[in-house]
Structure formats: structure tokens, C-alpha cells
Amino acid sequence: MCGIIGYVGKNCDIGQILIEGLKRLEYRGYDSSGIAIVQDGQLVWEKTSGKIAKLEKRLRGIDLAGSLGIAHTRWATHGEPNRVNAHPHFDSAQRLALVHNGIIENYLTLKKSLEAEGHTFITETDTEVLVHLIDRFYKGNALEDAVQQALKMVEGTYGILVISAEEPGKIIGARNGSPVVVGIGEGEYFIASDVAAILKHTRQVIYLEDHQMIVATPDNFTTVTIENEYVEHIVQEVDWDLEMIEKGGFRHFMLKEIHEQPETIRNAMRGRLIHDTGDAKLGGLAMAEKELRDVRRIVLLGCGTSWHAALIGKYMIEDKSRIPVEVEYASEFRYRNPVIENGTICFAISQSGETVDTLAAMREAGKRGAKCMGIVNVVGSTIARESHCGVYIHAGPEIGVASTKAFTSQITVLGLLALLQGRMRNISSAEGQRIIEAMEKLPDQVAEILRTNDEIKGIAEKYAHHNNFLYLGRGANYPVALEGALKLKEISYLHAEGYPAAEMKHGPIALIDENMPVVFICPKDNAYKKILGNISEVKARKGKIIAITNEGNNEVVEMADHVIYIPRNLDFLYPVLAVIPLQLIAYHIAVLRGCNVDQPRNLAKSVTVE
């Protein structure tokens, strides 16, 4: 959730490096932030509630030159998001500073024993306990030694950075469950939660594994375990560039990412379609070919938007391959007693690859004998590394907190998986070729829908003042309705519900009157005739109807107050197209209501706490 960044190296304007890094990490949490650097053997620090811009303002005019420092942007778990609880946290003598992403689960027990020894705490956070614990072990020995001793006593998750005013040329980073990436410069090191924060300075990175730490000075670094065993590290080259993490002329990251979808969908399919045989090739799954052939059941795990993608994947895979697919919220799966029989494979679907519930659910499935694969965007993320194998969706960095391009790439990859599984079973080569042809139309069709942005904005203007919305769809478009409602909730703070259209009459129909906008996802698929009946039911109760359908559906045009057209394609691919107008509706309503589109309140992009 939170974002951390640290620097050790040359004497420079370290304040700027850290603030710029924090801005790139702000999507991870944005309720408070802080910075600490070492100057003349002393810690100089500042922190504040609110956004990074507020911290930047407070730092104006302060000399932030130095060669060692850490900074943090917070998404509160323990303790209100105020200035006191903001990171960094310090020991009583203020010789140590620490930033933390994660949760120390046994902090109350540790706190009691530290209090009994005379430590006093000034914050409500779990993190402050950790810095005091390090202080307890820091008695003339090296900082890394004290950090190791402290971490051995800690239960929970952490990505931490620690500095000491007494060792002004050294930074320690450690991880367990929360990501830590080390950027290698020339005579300088950047350590952060995410490569986006350090990409401006270097592309050479090392991803720390759980229970590992890095000890870096300007001249050197070592990676060791918490038990102080030396660890061989692998330096990797990041293939993102700076442009990919900038807004590129768009007002918001979300709008940019919505508009990137023709390209990202193309990237998700690139090199994976075999025209001659009508097959899909997912190189990352090659090592699991036997399991894929023998599979008897598939379990798809995810959270939030990724869970919606999984639901669509169920429709796609069952339809094309006839393999039963179970979709489960990762947070539920991990705490019940799930049945994993022989022949079950599991896919963890996650944009970030760091969502703690999805990761834990995947581990649980693995423990119970399932082969676990990832469908992930962020290269080198924990799910990508811990899964037996997997498929990258190649959507590029997604910065807007509300997921858009990752969603369409996830369902594109699930479509490829459906084709792959289908071809191993009951789909002919000719049918496979027909699917490939249809999939290849998607990028241009998405671009066509994006060209109706102004009309969609016009519809958003009419409804931006409403407080409740209903989204209805059938079949694979029912999860699209869920996703449309989620987008609106996330960024506009409006109440919106997604429902299977036919279920409306078992409850939500009671809500319908002339003030209720109802968004129908009703392309001309095999459920089309049925959904017409549901549209009539809303119409009869004077609900306002916004329909997403194909050109030429005159029955819908006559009944609806507004129609948004999407191009024709195969039924099972409509979700990729139908969600685009819903993303745009949510975006424009949020902008019209003055909401912070890229950083909606209370949310974070990557949820690394339970």
C-alpha cells in the first residue's frame, strides 16, 4: 500500500530525488508523507498529512542536500493519517529513521516489552515499534546487525528502509511480503517499492526476495538474508521508459490509460496467435503443457477489477474448452478449506502482482497441490516470481488507481487461454482461425469506440448529478456490469450496483423510478432477446436507460434514452469492447464532480495488507 524510497550516494539535492520518487509512488497511498535525510551527522526530517504536494510546500526553502535519505507516502492502516503517524518514524534519541510498507502483526506484544524497558512511543503506528526494536539492538554494533536482530522478532509484512545518523553513508533495505527494488547507479543506490520511482536514474535493478536485506554504501552493496547468509543477486534491466510513466498530454493517467487500450490489447496478443493452425501460444505456460492438457478444473483467483476479469474468463474458458472454472475472491479462498483435486490448476490474476490476498490465496492453492500460474502485469512482481509459471499481460505501467487497460489486457489473455484450452479439446482449427480473426479486430474496434468519447461525455454531463446507478448485463457482460459499477464507485464516490439483468426483478427493480439511470450492456449476442425484456421492465417504471449495443439494434434504440454503439464481434469478446464506454462514463462523471480521478479517496493501487 504505502510507497518507500531511499537514496545513498553522492552529495546532491537528495530532497529532489526523494520527492520526485514519492510522486511516482503516490498511487500506492496518499494520505500523508514524510522525508528524513542525514546532514552533518544529524537527522533532518519533515512530514505532513495530505498529498506529496503539501510535503513539497513545507520543504520549500529548506536545504535538502545530502547523500543519505529516505521518504514515504502512506495509506493508513494503524493510526489516523495525521502528521504524527506519518513516516519516517524515529527512536527516542532520533538517531535512527525508518520507513515501512506493510503491517507488523505482533507490534502490541513488542510494544509492551519495549515500554517495560523504558521506551516511550508517540504515535499509534505499528512501525514505530520496529524502529524502537532496532534501537534496542543498536549498541555500538553495525546497523545491519541491529536490523537483523529486530526483524527476527517481527511477525508480519514489511518493506523497510533504515538509516542512522551515526552511519551517514549506509542504507539498509529489507523485505518480507512487501516489494523492495534496488536501483544500481554509479556510486549511488536507489531503493524503492516500485521501479517507477527510480526509473529516471537507472534501469539496472535487483528485486529483493522475502527475508532478504540489502546493505548499501556509495561504493558497494551486499544482499544477505535476515539470518545474515550471503545471497547471490541477479541484476535485471527494466524495459520501461520514462515516457510510459508520464501523462503524455492527457489530463489524467486514467484517461491516458483508457486511450492506450488499442495498443495494450495488441501487446497482450503479440506473438501469441498462430494463424496457420488457429491456435494460441502462451510461451510462459509452455512448462505447464502437460497440466494444461490434463486439467480437469481451473480456479481463477483475484481481487477487485482482476476478480471481474476472472469472472469473464470463466465464461470464456468454459464456453470454448468445456473445462469447469471456479472464480473466487482471493481473500475468501485463502481462509476457507478449499477443495483442490488432482487435475486442478490455478491462475492468480493481478495487475500489480503484489496484492497480498491474491498472493496468499495462490500460496494456499499451491500448498494443496494445485499448479499455480500467474496472469500478471508487473514484471518481476512477487506473484510473477512465486507462481510456477505464467503469462504477462504486457499492458505497461498502470498508474491510475482505478484499473482500466490492465482489465482489458487481462480478459484478452484469458481469451487466449480459452482458445488454447479449446484447441486442446473441442475447437477445430477453422474455428480457432475464426476466433483469431475476431481477436485481431479488437484493437481497431476499441479505437473506434474511443472516438465516441465526446458523445459519452455528453451523456455523463446529463447524469453527473445523480446519486445512484444500476448496471445490468447478461452472460459474460454481467461481470462487465460489475466492473462499470465499480469504476463509478471508485472514482466518483457514487452508489452504483452491477447486477445480472434477469436478477433485477428479484430486488433492484424496487429502486427504479424516473431518477434511476440504468446502464444496459446489451450487444447483439445470444442473450440479446432476453435482455430486451429487462429493458422494457425498466422503461415501464420510467427509469433512464443508457444502452450499450451494436448499430442497427432498432428495438433498443426505440426504448433507450441514450445509445452508445460498439462494433460487431464474437459474443465472447464483447466484454473487451463493452467496458470501454463504461470506463469513459465513470471518468467523465468523476471529473464533472470534481473528484481526484487518479487518486480516489481511501483507495490504493496496490493492496499489500489484508
Q: Rounded to an integer, what distance in angstroms lies between the CA atom of residue 582 and that of residue 484?
A: 5
Residue nearest to ligand G6P as judged by C-beta position? 304
Q: Which stretch binds ligand G6P (CB under 6 A): 137-145, 156-164, 170-178, 345-353?
A: 345-353
Q: Rounded to an integer, what distance in angstroms lies between the CA atom of residue 329 and that of residue 430?
A: 36
Q: Is 401 in the site for ligand G6P (CB under 6 A)?
A: yes
Count of CB atoms situated within 10 Å of the CB of 504? 21
User: Strands, DSSP E only, in 233-296?
Assistant: 236-237, 273-274, 279-280
Identify which of residues 273 and 360 has a Cβ nearer to ligand G6P in the complex: 360
Rounded least distance, CB 283 to ligand G6P, Å: 22
Count of CB atoms situated within 10 Å of the CB of 554? 8
Identify which of residues 4 and 538 has a Cβ nearer to ligand G6P in the complex: 4
Q: Is 489 in the site for ligand G6P (CB under 6 A)?
A: no
Query: Does an H or E element contain 457, and which?
Result: helix 453-463
Q: Is 304 in the site for ligand G6P (CB under 6 A)?
A: yes
In terms of C-beta density within 10 A (0-12 exposed, 13-18 middle, 19 or more buried), how is residue 482 classed? buried
Applying CB under 6 A, which of residues 143, 579, 591, 607 lies at the interface with ligand G6P? 607
Residue 213 region by backbone torsions, left for phi larger than 0, else alpha for psi between -120 and 50, else beta: beta
Applying CB under 6 A, which of residues 269, 299, 303, 361 lies at the interface with ligand G6P? 303
Q: Is 404 in the site for ligand G6P (CB under 6 A)?
A: no
Q: Which stretch binds ligand G6P (CB under 6 A): 127-135, 289-297, 366-374, 401-409?
A: 401-409
Q: Is 606 in the site for ligand G6P (CB under 6 A)?
A: yes
2 part of the active site: yes
Residues 263-302 as b or e (16 or more Cβ within 10 Å = b): ebbbbbbeebbbeeebbbebebbeebeebbeebebbbbbb
Identify which of residues 267 and 306 has a Cβ nearer to ligand G6P in the complex: 306
Q: Is 77 in the site for ligand G6P (CB under 6 A)?
A: no
Applying CB under 6 A, which of residues 33, 77, 305, 344 lies at the interface with ligand G6P? 305
Rounded least distance, CB 353 to ligand G6P, Å: 7
Q: Rounded to an integer, what distance in angstroms lies between the CA atom of residue 349 and that of residue 340?
A: 18
Q: Rounded to an integer, what distance in angstroms lies between the CA atom of residue 62 and that of residue 326?
A: 56
Q: Is 599 in the site for ligand G6P (CB under 6 A)?
A: no
Rounded least distance, CB 5 to ligand G6P, Å: 20
Q: Which stretch binds ligand G6P (CB under 6 A): 104-112, 298-306, 363-371, 477-485?
A: 298-306
Q: Is 193 in the site for ligand G6P (CB under 6 A)?
A: no
Rounded least distance, CB 608 to ligand G6P, Å: 10
Radius of gyration of the chain (CA): 25
Rounded least distance, CB 52 to ligand G6P, Å: 19
CA–CA distance from 494 to each of 465, 482, 597 (Å)? Answer: 10, 14, 13
Q: Is 399 in the site for ligand G6P (CB under 6 A)?
A: no
Q: Is 196 in the site for ligand G6P (CB under 6 A)?
A: no
Q: Rounded to an integer, what distance in angstroms lies between the CA atom of residue 31 and that of residue 72?
A: 11
Contact 147, 134 (CB under 8 A): yes
Task: Count the residues in the chain.
Answer: 610
Using alpha carbons, select from 326, 12, 50 the residue that is nearest to residue 187: 12
Applying CB under 6 A, which of residues 49, 77, 193, 352 lies at the interface with ligand G6P? 352
Q: Which of 320, 371, 489, 605 is catalytic?
A: 605
Applying CB under 6 A, which of residues 198, 268, 496, 603 lies at the interface with ligand G6P? 603
By CB under 6 A, how many residues form the interface with ligand G6P? 16
Identify which of residues 104 and 303 has a Cβ nearer to ligand G6P in the complex: 303
* Pairing state between β 544-549 and 562-565: parallel
Q: Rounded to an integer, what distance in angstroms lies between the CA atom of residue 391 and that of residue 368?
A: 22
Q: Is 32 in the site for ligand G6P (CB under 6 A)?
A: no
Identify which of residues 295 and 376 has a Cβ nearer to ligand G6P in the complex: 376
Rounded least distance, CB 605 to ligand G6P, Å: 6
Contact 229, 219 (CB under 8 A): no
Q: Which stretch binds ligand G6P (CB under 6 A): 51-59, 168-176, 349-357, 459-467?
A: 349-357
- Cβ contacts of 269 within 8 Å, gap of 6 or more: 412, 416, 439, 440, 442
Contact 548, 522 (CB under 8 A): yes
Q: Is 176 in the site for ligand G6P (CB under 6 A)?
A: no
Please confirm whether the linkage preceding 500 is cis (ω < 30° from 0): no
Rounded least distance, CB 601 to ligand G6P, Å: 12
Q: Is 492 in the site for ligand G6P (CB under 6 A)?
A: no
Q: Rounded to an integer, what distance in angstroms lies between the CA atom of residue 128 and that of residue 130?
A: 5
Torsion of CA 402, 22, 71, 304, to 10 degrees: 10
489 part of the active site: no
Rounded least distance, CB 400 to ligand G6P, Å: 9
Using alpha carbons, select from 150, 220, 144 the residue that is nearest to residue 182: 220
Q: Which of 2, 372, 389, 522 is catalytic?
A: 2
Rounded least distance, CB 456 to ligand G6P, Å: 21
* Pairing state between β 495-500 and 279-280: unpaired
Applying CB under 6 A, which of residues 358, 492, 534, 550 lies at the interface with ligand G6P? 358
> Which of the residues are catalytic?
2, 605
Residues found near ligand G6P in the complex (CB under 6 A): 303-306, 350-352, 355, 358, 401-403, 603, 605-607
